[in-house]
Structure 1
Amino acid sequence: MSISDNLQAIRHRIEQAARACGRDPAGITLLAVSKTKPDADIIAAHAAGQRAFGENYVQEGCDKAQRLEAAGLELEWHFIGPIQSNKTRPVAGCFDWVHSIDREKIAARLSEQRDPHRPPLNICLQVNVSGEESKSGVAPAELPALADAVAALPRLVLRGLMAIPEPTDDVTLQRSRFAHVRQLMDDLNARGHHLDTLSMGMSQDLEAAIAEGATIVRVGTALFGARA
């Protein structure tokens, strides 16, 4: 199947999942995870109507963004991978969103390095709801302090939370993890934040994520195929 066909199939999945839980599909953004994929795949997805793309690797993502902007494509770029301190400047310069903030230090550097003439950088805090030591993300107990610190930084807008729970085919566990993320966002909003974004759900579990309130689902494999 072509990328256009795959995109249509994913949109149908999103629509079906939204309808099943009484949500408006228009409230859910498909983020095409284009890491390791060539420009031609992104151009094909763009031709089929896709606008938001997610990258995990700083240099690769910046190079793509610059090349495709020069080619006349207006795309929205989301950084979804871990960020080292020495890579914050290019992230601040190339991306519209960052989903993977779990330390105040990284957010502060992005704030300092974001061009004040550009729109603020949209930020999601990555939370580790499955407690895996190998996985990035702030512990839920430490989330309120991090949210307060990031929300106070200039040139950033704290939009919501991102999570990558452990992979499982157990739909009950999938929904439990995603419900936990939603509850954490509700708790932050009750503390005075104004968060509107839940970045959660991927190719294998987007239905469970949508049922629990996801506003951005991150899909790579089902759209572009397995990584080479």
Structure 2
Amino acid sequence: MTTENSSPLTARLPNGLSAVEQDIAHACKEARRDRSSVTLVAVSKTFDADAIVPVIEAGQRVFGENRVQEAKAKWPGLMSAYPGIALHLIGPLQSNKAKEAVALFDAIHSVDRPSICEALAREFDSQQRRPQLFVQLNTGEEPQKAGVAPSEADSFIASCREKYRLPISGLMCIPPVNDAPAPHFALTAKIAARNGLNNLSMGMSADFAIAIALGATHVRIGSAIFGKR
């Protein structure tokens, strides 16, 4: 569905999606993995519905947003018009937004502190809805970045499971901008393996092929699909 006012960028979006799909397929082949083992999360943060519709109509069904309020403003209408969409929260979650997040999102990639665990556990019980949960790691231990330090990951995951009864399904990481991503992805995969977690949310537009080689099950790609923000 396009309009007479569609921008040239919007008109090109399906081509961006096609190129990304080809690159993911190639990365999976190089890693000797099945393409179906990797979920593409198209990161639509800051883009409005008019920019997202062509990507949906090109076949994409899994999208990522950074902010609960932004997603709440644009996605209910899109999800009503296009059934089968799965929405992932890939940005930080505040405890006071847990109710809305559990109601709207199918996956939350940013579980990183006890207050969030407590709020999510409360809403899981209240709403009887259980989005897929990822613990966010801060593999670079950057003070300005959210996430659990690698040294604390095992105990935090155990607490999520035992104290809060949260069904953690995987880990998420965002490597430091100036670091080689491979060691961070490898560390995330190692921590996931020893905790029996099968899902790895890692890899973005610039490094998703490396992430796939190191076991990523979810790659979060925005600019390669939608263009620069």
1:217 aligned to which of 202, 216, 219: 219
* Counterpart position of 1:176: 183
Tell me: CA distance 1:115–1:94, structure 2 relative to 1, closer, same or farther (3 Å). Answer: farther
Deviation readout 1:117-156 (Å, 9 max, x if unpaired): 65422100000111211111100111112111222435x4
Deviation readout 1:55-107 (Å, 9 max, x if unpaired): 00111112222121332433101001111222111111111100011112202
Where do 5+ consecutive residues of structure 2 fail to align? 1-8
* Counterpart position of 2:6: none
* Counterpart position of 2:3: none
Please give the alpha-carbon distance, in whole angstroms, between the structure 2 residues aligned to 1:41 and 1:217: 20
Please give the alpha-carbon distance, in whole angstroms, between the structure 1 residues aligned to 2:160 and 2:14: 38
Give the percent of matched residue pairs that are identical in Structure 1 and Structure 2. Answer: 39
Moved more, 201-210 or 36-45: 36-45
* Counterpart position of 2:169: 159
After superposing on structure 2, the runs of 4+ consecutive aligned residues of structure 1 that deviate more than 4 Å are 115-119
Please give the alpha-carbon distance, in whole angstroms, between the structure 2 residues aligned to 1:223 and 1:115: 36
Please give the alpha-carbon distance, in whole angstroms, between the structure 2 residues aligned to 1:151 and 1:77: 23
What is the TM-score normalised by the length of structure 2?
0.89
2:151 aligned to which of 134, 141, 162: 141
Please give the alpha-carbon distance, in whole angstroms, between the structure 1 residues aligned to 2:140 and 2:150: 10
CA contact (8 A) 2:103 2:129 kept: no
* Counterpart position of 2:15: 5
CA contact (8 A) 1:93 1:115 kept: no
Give the deviation of 1:176 after TM superposition: 1.3
Give the deviation of 1:115 after TM superposition: 6.3
2:110 is equivalent to residue 94 of structure 1? no
Moved more, 126-135 or 112-121: 112-121
Please give the alpha-carbon distance, in whole angstroms, between the structure 2 residues aligned to 1:59 and 1:35: 11
Moved more, 143-152 or 202-211: 143-152
2:50 is equivalent to residue 40 of structure 1? yes
Moved more, 159-168 or 144-153: 144-153
SS in 2 for 1:114: helix
1:207 aligned to which of 206, 209, 229: 209
* Counterpart position of 2:193: 186
Please give the alpha-carbon distance, in whole angstroms, between the structure 2 residues aligned to 1:134 and 1:7: 32
* Counterpart position of 2:75: 65
Deviation readout 1:22-79 (Å, 9 max, x if unpaired): 1111100100000011112222111111011100011111222212133243310100
Tell me: CA distance 1:186–1:134, structure 2 relative to 1, closer, same or farther (3 Å). Answer: same
SS in 1 for 2:167: strand
Where do 5+ consecutive residues of structure 1 fail to align? 190-194
